[in-house]
Amino acid sequence: MKLLEDKILNESVVLNDEILKVDGFINHQVDPKLMKEIGEEFAEYFKDRGITKVATIESSGISPALMTALALGVPLIIMKKSPSNVMKTDLFHTEVVSFTKGSSYELTVSKSHISENDHVLIIDDFLANGEASTGAIRLVRKGNATIAGVGILIEKSFQAGRNKLNEAMIEVYSLARIESLKGGIIQFKKQEN
């Protein structure tokens, strides 16, 4: 998606060979026009898949996932990184290792929001090693729902995430695929989705 790639080139910061900071338009400050375009792009790509719900992990995936759910006309499920004091029971749980934070967290979703009748599209901001996406997939499957695919804003193609999801027979649609961040230079991979 050229609009997203241009934002990445003009407004992101390469912190090192593996980390790209996009807090000015995706996760700390959000560009709503960009999110609307992203949601429409994902909705167009996945439109005839029978999607009943969109799911994401709090918090960076919420904006693009909400716009995707709106464009598809379906509810959005937000998976929590830790259970709240109010929601402690009737949850599906799984553990996820965060590449960015270098730690693990418990991912949860209410059992009442996912059922065997659901066909779920997962949206996330980054795909690195695939841990967040596979954690979200595990939770959806614990509810006996099926996976329509995974939509990713920014894929770091030099890491193992796509291969992990492809081996699990999960379709991945990434809007921007980064081949390298070496030397502080952003190089995009040709789109093959």
Q: 1 or 81, which is more confident? A: 1
| pLDDT, tens digit, 9 for 90 and up, residues 136-164 | 999 999 999 999 999 999 999 999 999 99
Residue 131 marked in a binding site: yes
Residue 193 has pLDDT above 60, yes or no: no
- The amino acid that residue 54 corresponds to is V
- Report in angstroms the alpha-carbon separations of 114 from 52, 91, 101, 187, 188: 10, 10, 28, 38, 36
Residue 175 has pLDDT above 90, yes or no: yes
Tell me 28's DSSP state.
S
Phi, psi of 15 (to 5 degrees): -85, -35
**Token pair 């929001």: residue:** 113
CB 130 within 8 A of CB 87: no
Query: What's the pLDDT at 49?
Result: 95
Mean pLDDT value across the chain: 92
| Other Cβ atoms closer than 10 A to 52 | 18
| pLDDT, tens digit, 9 for 90 and up, residues 88-106 | 678 998 888 876 667 788 8
Dihedral angle over CA of 17, 129, 21, 152, nearest 10: 130
Q: 93 or 181, which is more confident? A: 181
Domain boundaries defined on the chain = 2-188
Residue 80 marked in a binding site: no
Query: What's the pLDDT at 82?
Result: 74
Residue 72 marked in a binding site: no
The reply to whether CATH 3.40.50.2020 applies to domain 2-188 is yes
How many residues does the structure list for the chain? 193
Summarize the confidence of residues 4-28 as an average pLDDT: 95
Q: Which residues contact 146 (CB under 8 A, 6 or more apart)?
A: 118, 119, 120, 140
Query: What's the pLDDT at 99?
Result: 65
Q: What is the DSSP string of 41-96?
A: HHHHHTTTS---EEEEETTTTHHHHHHHHHHHT--EEEEBSS--SS--SSEEEEEE
**Token pair 């700390």: residue:** 28
Summarize the confidence of residues 32-44 as an average pLDDT: 98
Query: What's the pLDDT at 191?
Result: 65
| Other Cβ atoms closer than 10 A to 135 | 23
Residue 15 marked in a binding site: no
Residue 85 has pLDDT above 70, yes or no: no
Residue 71 marked in a binding site: no
Residue 166 marked in a binding site: no
